Structure formats: structure tokens, C-alpha cells
Structure 1
Amino acid sequence: MTDSTKPLVEAIGGLDALRRLSNTFYDDVLADPLLAPVFANFSRTHTEHVAVWLAEVFGGPTGFTDELGGHQALLRAHLGLSITEEQRLRWMELMTGAVEKELPDDELLRCRVIEYFDWGTKIAREVSADPAGTDVGDPGPTPRWGWNGLA
């Protein structure tokens, strides 16, 4: 049963659950012929950074902002990747599978998490289209995503 009084990160199971989600997802991504080329410079450190980012976005500690450069650093990592809509949709398919495998069996929780990924991948695709790979502007603080979407 959904307990929407606590942050999403707690309902998800904390940083450990997000690490499992990230590892499961990237194992699938690296084996996918459509997505693997986007992650040519992938390292396992990336999965930890993703987990820390997600923990912060879903209401947890500000580790990504404090230690890894915050929202601007995340967006900069996508510059020049030229992500296609086909790749974005495949990314969503694989992430949905990882969410179903790794997160609690809670329909509302999973829905909110997938909604965040849909929102975020659209931004990543847009940022990745910058041909010079240099401009993210001022994206503001790291977004926070809760039971009602963007907080």
C-alpha cells in the first residue's frame, strides 16, 4: 500500500534500491545495440552517480548537488550525444523493465518514478541535440520529484 507521507526515495527503498535499479538498467543498456553506442565511455562509477542523483531527485540527501556538480553537471553529461527519439523510447522501455524488477510492487510508486524518467529523458534528449555540445544555460537547482510530480 502506498504511503505518500514519506519521500519517494524512502518508498523506493533508499539508495541501495536505487543502486540495484541503476545496475540492472545499465546491464541491459550496455547489451542493447541501439543504446550501447550512446554509452561508449561508460564506467561503473556512472551507475553510482545515477543512484545518488535519483536519491536526491526523489527527496533524499543532496549528495549529487554537494559532491558531483548538481543539475548543471548532469545536463552537461548529455551535451553532444545527439540522442534520438527512438533511443529515448528504448531507454524508457529498459528503465520500465528495471523498475518492475527492482522497485516495490506498488503501482502508484512505479507510476511516479516512470513519470519522472519520461520527463527527464525528454530534457536529456533536448540538451543532447546541442551540436556544439557546450550550452546548458542555467538549469536551476536539482529538481525534486514527489508523489504529485515535480515539486
Structure 2
Amino acid sequence: MTEPGETFVDAVGGIEALRRLSNTFYESVLADPLLAPVFADFSRTHIEHVAVWLGEVFGGDPRYTAELGGHQALLRSHLGLAITEEQRLRWMELMTAAVEQELPDDDRLRRRVVEYFDWGTRIARDVSADPAGTDLGEPGPTPRWGWDGLV
């Protein structure tokens, strides 16, 4: 159970928990026949980048923005992937299983994390649909997600 006033990133277990979450998730993804093709260019550094992204989104250190290009870079990495709704839903199934395995046993916390992924995967799917792989629009700064959802 979370402590009153605890930050969202601390409640999930900090960057170490996010690394475990990312690692567990991508082990499943790379073995999944529907999703593995989307990650054909996967490298182990992706796990760390996802953990750093989530740490920033959940209110922690803004390393993704400072070191990896921020929101624009994250969206750019999805351009032209043509993610289908079927793939997005499978991604959500595997991530939900990883959340249940790796994050604290707190229903509200897990629900908020899964809500973030549902929100984010819809954006990734939409961005990936640009066949030219160039249209990012104006995404703004890295979003923040907390106890009440999008901040």
C-alpha cells in the first residue's frame, strides 16, 4: 500500500522497478509472434530508455528529456511503424501482466499505471500510422502522469 503523499515514481518503486518492468515486458514482447516484428530493430538499450522515460513521466528525474531528446524523440521512434489496434491490444495484455508481476501489490497504483499505458499506446498507434513517417504535430513537453492520471 502506498504512503500518503508518496510521489508516483516512488510508489512504483523508482527507476529499478521500472527497469524490471521494462525487462519483463520486453522478454514477452520479443517472444510474441504478433509483436516481435514491430521490434525487429530492438536493442537492450531500449529497456533502459523505456525505464528512464517512465521515470520522468511518473514524476522523477527528467533524464529522458535531458539525455534522449524528450517527447519529440519518443514520438519520432514510432513514426512509420504502422501499429495496428490488434498489436496495441496485445501490447497492453503483455504490459498489464508485467505490471502485475513487477509493481507493488496496490490496485490503485497498478490501475493508474495501466491507464497511462492505454493512453500512451493510443498515441503511439496514431503517430505510427503516418506512412511517410514525418508527421509529429506539436506534441509539447514530456507528459506527466500521477495519482490522478495526466497532470
Q: Which residues of structure 2 form unaligned runs of 5+?
A: none
Spell out, residue by residue over 1:28-71, the C-alpha distance to the aligned partner (whole angstroms, 9 max, x if none). Answer: 00000000000000000000000000000001010000000000
Counterpart-to-counterpart distance in 1, 2:3 and 2:38:
37
Spell out, residue by residue over 1:91-137, the C-alpha distance to the aligned partner (whole angstroms, 9 max, x if none). Answer: 00000000000000000000000000000000000000001001102
TM-score (normalizing by structure 1): 0.98
Q: Which residue number corresponds to residue 148 of structure 1? A: 148
One-letter identity of the residue aligned with 1:130:
D
Q: Once the 2 structures are TM-superposed, how far is the Cα of residue 2 of structure 1 from its aligned partner? A: 2.9
**1:39 aligned onto 2:39:** yes
What RMSD in Å do the two structures reach over aligned CA positions? Answer: 0.7
Q: Which residue number corresponds to residue 73 of structure 2? A: 73
Matched-pair contact (CA < 8 Å) for 1:58–1:144: yes
Alignment of structure 1 residues 108-127 onto 2, 5 Å? 108-127=108-127
Q: Once the 2 structures are TM-superposed, how far is the Cα of residue 4 of structure 1 from its aligned partner? A: 4.8
Counterpart-to-counterpart distance in 2, 1:31 and 1:83:
17
Matched-pair contact (CA < 8 Å) for 1:96–1:114: yes
One-letter identity of the residue aligned with 1:41:
D
Alignment of structure 1 residues 1-151 onto 2, 5 Å? 1-151=1-151
One-letter identity of the residue aligned with 1:43:
S
TM-score (normalizing by structure 2): 0.98
Matched-pair contact (CA < 8 Å) for 1:4–1:147: no
Counterpart-to-counterpart distance in 2, 1:72 and 1:4:
34
